Each structure stands twice: as structure tokens, then as C-alpha cells.
A and B are shown apart, each in its own frame.
Chain A
Amino acid sequence: MNPASSATDPRLLLLNPADNCLVACRALPAGEAVLIDGRSVTLPRPVGMAHKLARHALAVGDKVLRYGAVIGSVQRPIAIGEQIHTDNLASDYLPTYTLQDDARYAR
């Protein structure tokens, strides 16, 4: 894997230069300071291993790029360093089904 630019934290992967998200190589707690494109950012929320966080602030309707390709559209404003997941990103093809979101399966 190409490491992120030298100005980005080694715990974060930039998979393609065009991407606006970074992938966490390990779980990072809220409040952790990380380096994104030369800028120190305090994580507003925890980020799980292999989860994504925003490389810069994203607005509703923005396309999120991973591998240089679109993986969906932003549903709520996302701050730099904030985790990108089902609560703020939606598929442009098919709805995402999770156990938590579906009352039939909730305990």
C-alpha cells in the first residue's frame, strides 16, 4: 500500500491521491491528535480499525472518493477527521442494511 503523504499520520492510509477520505490502520479514540495533510486534527469521534475519516470538511451532496472512485453521497455535514459511515454517507445504488437500523432484529 502506498503510504499517505509524509505530512499525513502513518496510522492513516490515503489509498488514492484523489480521495477525500482516509482509512484508519488501527482503532483511534475520540480526542486523539492525528496529522492530516500537514495539519494537526483532534478526532471529534472514535474511528474503528479500517473505518474511514474525512480528509477535509464535506458538505451534503458531496461524493466520497475511495480508491479514486465514488462510494456514495454525503448526507450530513462531516468535519475534518470525523468518521464517515452509515450515519452520514449513503449509497448511490442500493440502501445499506444494518442490524442496528432495523427494529425487527433489535433486541
Chain B
Amino acid sequence: MPVEPPTAEPQHPAPLTGFLRPDGRKGIRNVVAVAYLVECAHFVAQEVVQSFRGEPVHLVGFPGCFPNAYADKVMRRLLTHPNVGAVLLVSLGCESFDKRGLEAEVAASGRPVHTLTIQERGGTRKTLAEGIEWVRWALAGLEDQPRVPMRWDELVVATVCGGSDGTSGITANPAVGRAFDTLIGQGAACIFEETGELVGCEFHMQRRAATPELGEAIVQAVAKAARYYETLGHGSFAPGNADGGLTTQEEKSLGAYAKSGDSPIAGLIKPGDIPPAGGLYLLDVVPDGEVRFGFPNISDNAEIVELIACGAHLTLFTTGRGSVVGSALAPVIKVCANPDTYARLAEDMDVDAGRILHGAAGLDEVGAEIVALVQSVAQGRETASESLGHREFILGYKAFEPIGPSCLPIRRGV
């Protein structure tokens, strides 16, 4: 799907605003990211972040001491994400993470970056003090950065579902699908994911692929996911899904699939691949090769982190049973599918899509409400999870092969 030429009609104000980065991308938040590079540095990094409660200082990190190309790529993408304005790396000192490579990549992106190595700095207390001082300096530098006009085709929106039940696939998910269609029509890139939750939908998706070769790649990606989960002995299906009225993996899949809307599928990407243009993309989250490192995504936030690593500025999270999570680095908009859940957890929710079940609204109306909310959140409005202080983050081990030539039939942007 070609990008509209950048003719921001001068008679209309820009639909969005963002923070301009040296690479030309724009962020909708201006965050100082504090990253631990092994679990052994997690506490010190966390203590730095906790000194800035209520300020845009977010904790991310990777717990493993063993090197992993996937985690390396995801960390590089996260710390050069357009929502990130400055980066503090906290290292123990003896871990294998390539901190110098990461630091160099962040520096090359034009962001302030600083690395503190606990073993060299003299322990917990000294590192903490230096970390706090640096973050205070970095925050001051970001404080006066103005927002500049931003177009829809500069926005990347992701969707996930979590705590799905029988309402998800008939209210929130198709409403997000309508929102995706509108956003894509405006030029945005939209990403849906979890090939393991699309088992049973592969031939439907194949028919929507931009080219036959891409369609074949999608079918293969879902077959890979089905094999992977079969080896592990579990589908992507939790007991709460069944309590909520879902009976089988393919039923859950069909409901999840409704989030993708009706647009053609422009590409199949893997974690850390940034969509080259507007359109609809499927994120393949299931590792390649033999089954290693356990379940592909042990919880919803692992998927959100991968979507952010693909450049997503914000995530539309549909939930039936009622998830309360947010995320570090990028806002999460909670679309509640189930009217009973909304009544219980209203403070944690942004959109009441369950009213569709009682005939109080239609899919188009809720879809339009979601688009309007995306626009105001992109302008700085806090989501429910942001205002409650949610900043979940999780990153584990995986192994991927690079995507093949058929996966992005559209030309890559510069």
C-alpha cells in the first residue's frame, strides 16, 4: 500500500503532534528510558526510576546473562524508539550484553546516552547516585522540547488482545478492526500479531495478502506457530478464555483475527522490523527453528514489547476478562469487550465496547471512538493505565531468522 505523498494540506491543522527525532521519526511521548542489561543490574536501575515517580522515566531491560541476537535487536529498537528521548544503561559489568554496541547505536541516533557499570562505579549506592543525577540532567534537557506537527502516515498503531472471552470477538475486536481500517485509510501503519492466536485463520489471511508470495509466507508462519505450540503441549489458550465462553483455539483465533479489520495485508514482519510504509502488517512472534527457550510469549506484555520494538507508538489492547496492564515506553489504550467487566474495572478501561452487546452502540460508533482516542492520546492525553502508573515490561530469549524477500512486497522507505 503506497504512502500518500507528504502534502499536509496547509488549510487544515496537523492531525497529530509529536517530538521530532534526528532520524525523522516523531514520538508521541518524550521518555527517559533506564535499561538494565542483566537481572543483576535490575534493582539499581529500578531504584533510579523510582526516584522519579510521576515523571516520564521508564524502566526496561533484559534479565539474561547469556547473549541473544533477538534481545539485542529488540533493545536497540526500543532505545531508539521515537517515544524515547534519552537513555541510561545500567550494567553490572560481567554480563554478555553488548552494551558498547547498544550505547553506540543510541548515540548515533542523536539521543543523549550514558552507561553506568556497577562494578566500576563502586557499587549500588554510588551507581544509584550517579544514575539519579544523570536522569535529572536528561529530563531537564527534554523538558522544553516542543511538539511539532505530525501526520497520520507517521503513526504506527499496534493491537493485542489479552484475557479474551466470548465477548472479545463480537465487540472490542471487530471495533478495533474498524478503527484499523480508518487509520490505514489515513496512511498509518497498523500491526496485529500472535500467529499462534491465528491458528485456523491462515487461509482467510492468505486471501487478504498483497501478493500470492506473501500469502504463502503467512500460511507457513501460522503452520510454524501450530507446530511450535503442539510441541509445547499448549495452545495460546488460558483457562479464563474457557470460563468466558471460548471453547477452542480456533474459536479464540477467529475472534482475535477480527482486530485486523478488512484492509489488505501489506507485509509479514518479525520483532524489531519497522513497517516501511503505511498499511496493515502481521507480526510473526513465534521463533524460527527447533523449539527453544520455552513459550513464545509468556504473557501479554511480551507481545506489547515486540510491537513497540516494531515502532508502534501506542497499542490498542482488547480485553474481555479484564487485563489492567499498561506498558513502558508507549501508551496502551484498553478497549473492554465485556460489559460486566467494564462495570467492575471501569477505572482501568478507556473504551466500553461491551455496550455493543446491549445494543447501546454499533461497531462503527465504537470504532470511531477508538480513532478519536488514538488521536488525543497521540497528542498527550493520558490513558487509564498511564494515569494509574502502569509501566509493565518483559523481554526474554528467542531465536529468529530474518524475514524473507516475499514478506515485504512494498518497497522499503528510506
Contact of A66 among B199, B238, B251, B358 (CB under 8 A): B251
Please give the distance in Å from A104's CB to the nearest CB on chain B.
12
In the bound complex, CA of A51 to CA of B234 (Å): 22
Q: Which residues of A contact B230 (CB under 8 A)?
A: 94
Residues in A whose Cβ lies below 8 Å from that of B234: 94, 97
Contact between A94 and B235, CB atoms less than 8 A apart: yes
Known: A51-B245, A69-B204. A94 touches B226 (CB 8 A): yes
Query: Are A67's CB and B169's CB within 8 A?
Result: yes
The residues in B between 250 and 294 inclusive whose CB is less than 8 angstroms from any CB of A are 250-251, 254-255, 258
B209-261 residues with Cβ-Cβ distance < 8 A to A are 226, 229-230, 234-235, 237-239, 242-245, 247-251, 254-255, 258
Q: Which of A28-36, A37-45, A84-92 contacts B (4 or more CB under 8 A)?
A: A84-92
Residues of B within 8 A of A15 (CB): 170
**Distance in Å from the Cβ of A41 to the closest Cβ of chain B?**
19
Q: Are A94 and B166 in contact (CB under 8 A)?
A: no
- CB contact list, A54-92 vs B, under 8 A: 66-67, 69-72, 84-86, 89-92
Indicate if B159 sits at the interface (CB-CB under 8 A). Answer: no
Closest A residue, CB atoms, query B169: A67
B130 at the interface (CB under 8 A from A): no
Residue contact A91 to B166, C-beta cutoff 8 Å = no
A96 to B358, CA, bound (A): 29
For the complex formed, measure the closest distance between the CB of B244 and the CB atoms of chain A, giving whole angstroms.
Answer: 6
Interface of A is mostly: loop
One of B166, B200, B237, B359 near A52 (C-beta < 8 A): B166
Asked whether, in the complex, the Cβ of B242 is within 8 Å of the Cβ of A72, the reply is: no
Q: Which residue of A lies closest to B250 (CB)?
A: A71
Contact size range, B:
35 or more
Check B170 against A86 for contact (C-beta < 8 Å). Answer: no
Query: When each residue 145-172 of chain B gets 1 if its CB lies under 8 Å from chain A and 0 otherwise, what string results?
Result: 0000000000000000000011101110
Q: Does A46 contact B (CB under 8 A)?
A: no
Residue A7, interface by CB 8 Å? no
Contact call A13/B248, Cβ cutoff below 8 A = no
Contact B249 A50 (CB under 8 A): no
> Do B247 and A93 touch (CB < 8 A)?
no
Q: Which of B168-211 contact A (CB under 8 A)?
A: 169-171, 174, 199-201, 204
Cβ-defined partner of A50 (8 Å) among B199, B200, B235, B245: B245
Residue among B201, B249, B255, B359 making CB contact with A94, cutoff 8 Å: B249
Chain B residues whose CB sits within 8 angstroms of the CB of A97 once the complex forms: 234-235, 237-239
Interface range on chain A: under 10, 10 to 19, 20 to 34, or 35 or more? 20 to 34
CA distance A100 to B254 in the complex (A): 24
Q: Does B338 contact A (CB under 8 A)?
A: yes
Q: Check: B340 CB closer than 8 A to any chain A CB.
A: yes
Q: Which of A10, A48, A94 contacts B237 (CB 8 A)?
A: A94
A74 to B275, CA, bound (A): 41
Q: Max chain A CB contacts within 10 Å: which of B235, B248, B249, B358?
A: B248
Given A69-B200, A85-B242, answer yes or no on A96-B247 (Cβ-Cβ < 8 Å).
yes
Question: In the complex, which of the residues B165, B200, B338, B356 contacts A1, with contact meaning CB atoms closer than 8 Å?
Answer: B356
Within 8 A of B (CB), among A16-30: 23, 25-26
A91 → B minimal CB distance (Å): 4
CA distance A26 to B340 in the complex (A): 10
B320 on the A face (CB < 8 A): yes
Q: Is B309 an interface residue (CB 8 A)?
A: no
Q: Which residues of B contact A85 (CB under 8 A)?
A: 242, 245, 247
Q: Are B247 and A84 in contact (CB under 8 A)?
A: yes
In the complex, are the beta carbons of A71 and B248 less than 8 A apart?
yes
**Bound Cα distance A89, B118 (Å):** 56
Q: Which residues of A contact B254 (CB under 8 A)?
A: 66-67, 69, 71
Which of chain B's residues have a CB closer than 8 A to the CB of A6? none
Binding site for B on A (CB under 8 A): 1, 10, 13, 15, 23, 25-26, 48-52, 66-67, 69-72, 84-86, 89-100
User: Can you list 27 pairs linking A and B with CB atoms under 8 Å apart?
Assistant: A1-B174, A23-B170, A23-B245, A48-B166, A48-B245, A49-B166, A49-B167, A50-B166, A51-B166, A52-B166, A52-B247, A66-B254, A67-B255, A69-B204, A72-B247, A89-B247, A89-B248, A90-B248, A91-B250, A92-B200, A92-B248, A93-B226, A93-B248, A96-B235, A96-B242, A97-B238, A98-B242
Taking Cβ atoms with an 8 Å cutoff, the residues of B that contact A are 165-167, 169-171, 174, 199-201, 204, 226, 229-230, 234-235, 237-239, 242-245, 247-251, 254-255, 258, 320, 338, 340, 356-359, 362-363
Closest 4 CB pairs of A and B: A50-B166, A91-B248, A71-B251, A94-B235
